[in-house]
Each structure stands twice: as C-alpha cells, then as structure tokens.
Amino acid sequence: MTQEEYIKNRVEDQIDWYGNKSSKCQKKYKIWQVIKIIALLFITIVSLFGDRDTKEFPFTDYITYIVGALGAFIIFIESFIKIYDYKKLWVQYRIASENLIREKLMFETKSAPYNTPDSFILFVQRCEAIMQNEMQGWEEILAEEDKA
C-alpha cells in the first residue's frame, strides 16, 4: 500500500467515520436530553393543577397518573441514555477523529516526529495505535458490562 493509498483509504476514511459517528451520537444525546427536560417541565406544570377544583379542571383526578407516567418516562429515558451512553461515545469518537487529524497534519507538514526519512512507518504505527486504542476502549466497556 502506498503512502497516498494509506492516507486516503485508511486514515481519511477513519477520520470521516469517527467524525460522523461522533456527530450522530452528539445529536442523539442532545435530543434525549431535551425530551427529558420537556417531560420534567410537564411534571412541574401538571402538578400545579393538582390543588384545583375538579369542577373547574375536570382532569385533576388524573394528575397523579399523569405525573407518575411522566416520571416513569423519565426513568426510561435515563435508562436508555445509560445503556447507549451517547455522550461517552460522542466524546470517544471525537477524540479519535481529532487525534488522527493531528497526526495527519503533523505528517504532511513534516513536523516532529515526522521529520525523518522513515517517517511514513512511524505515521502508520501511530495512526494504527490511535485506532487500536479506540477499539480497546470498546473491549473494556464490553468487559465491564459482562461483569455487571
């Protein structure tokens, strides 16, 4: 594999993949957080009607059920966020992407440690180490889940 092929097919491909996955996880995390906030706001608003006269507000008999359902929904959201851990993935993918971008830039500008004749070999080793480190993070997460 030539230097250009490695950069294009391996490094740039991984930069794009990590960047896209990071953006998607960030978006999912923020959407679920907004939904949770809205549900919390509804609990606050609905509970304000709990002391009202049932003649004036006929749905006050159901406020306890509505608040309970919203509370259960928030528990679901928290569990869902915990299971998929979008925030952690977002950060983990962003770090991998940015590290690869930095290595590529340093290599292309022949900055240290890439100012030697065999710099391509070092570049490959360091890029592969970044990608391997990200994969090891996954292995550790899976091992922790198995223990739990």
Calculate the CA 143 to chain-centre distance: 19
What pLDDT shows up at residue 57? Answer: 65
What pLDDT shows up at residue 141? Answer: 66
Number of domains in the chain: 1
**Which residue type does 112 have?**
A
Q: What is the pLDDT of residues 21-32, one digit of tens each?
A: 999 999 999 999
Q: Structure pTM? A: 0.80
pLDDT exceeds cutoff 70 at 44: yes
Q: What angle do CA 12, 13, 17 make, to 5 degrees?
A: 115
Domain that residue 71 falls in: 3-147
Task: Please report, for residues 1, 45, 90, 92, 118, the alpha-carbon distance to residue 4 in angstroms, rounded to integers and kept in the order given.
Answer: 8, 60, 29, 27, 15
Q: How far apart are CA 132 and CA 116, in angstroms?
A: 24
Q: What is the pLDDT of residues 10-21, one digit of tens each?
A: 999 999 999 999
